[in-house]
Structure 1
Amino acid sequence: MDHRNYIEEQRYVKAKKRVNDIKGFYIHFTVYVLVNIFISGVIIFGLTNDEGRSFSDAITHPGVYMTWMGWGIGVFFHWLGVFGFPTVMTKGWEERKIQELMKEEEERSNRITKK
């Protein structure tokens, strides 16, 4: 395999992983919205029919919005991992740090051999 084909294959693998990460987030977000709409509807319906509460009382019930908030935190961090600011400890950071340390070691080795 020639060097250009290898680099092209690595780019493809990296791009495919990125697409899968984005797709995974969109699936997660869609499930989050649909499930929470269903849960909120069930809770509101149950509170207005079974307990005789008004609609405005039912929509302010903590059960309606707690799953949105709790699960929403997880969705936010998923979004942050896919689209947001990269953390310091990403795979790219690891690779850059390895290259930096290898370069420092090579320079140190060159100084020693010149003496």
Structure 2
Amino acid sequence: METNNQEYERYQAAKKRVKEIKGFYGNLVSYILVISFLTFINLKYTPEHLWFYWPMLGWGIGLLFHAFGVFNIVPFFGKDWEEKKIKELMEEENKQKDKFQ
């Protein structure tokens, strides 16, 4: 019975991971389409004043951080770091409780 439960948990974790990756790629496609459209509008109607790079930069930074979290590129953005930090804080709290008992 425990094996089935572990297998189900692994399946749910994999399903969640696929959903996160799919969300990132959806964001990436939206970024490419919208920024391309904004670039076209800018260059066609106001080529003397370039402004398309501001939304490209802002959204691009957000997309970069999204990639860091989804693909665990930087350790402190990933799920492993969060779980380790939660366990660490819980252990510290337990030690503090034990001190005063």
Q: Normalized against structure 1, the TM-score is what? A: 0.67
1:67 is matched with 55
The one-letter amino acid of 1:85's match is V
Unaligned runs of 5+ in 2: none
Count residues with an aligned counterpart. 90
The one-letter amino acid of 1:86's match is P
Structure 1 position 93 matched with structure 2 position 84: yes
1:77 is matched with 65
CA–CA distance in 1 between the matches of 2:31 and 2:8? 34
Asked which structure has the greater CA Rg, the reply is 1
Shift of 1:89: 4.3
CA–CA distance in 1 between the matches of 2:42 and 2:86? 49
Deviation string for 1:84-104 (max 9, x for gaps)?
2232742x3257548x94xx9
What does 1:1-115 align with in structure 2 at a 5 Å threshold?
2-48=1-47, 53=48, 61=50, 63-83=51-71, 84-87=73-76, 89-90=81-82, 92-94=83-85, 97=88, 101=91
Q: Normalized against structure 2, the TM-score is what? A: 0.75
CA–CA distance in 2 between the matches of 1:76 and 1:70? 10
Unaligned runs of 5+ in 1: 109-115
CA–CA distance in 2 between the matches of 1:39 and 1:71? 12
Aligned structure 1 segments of 4 or more residues deviating by more than 6 angstroms: none
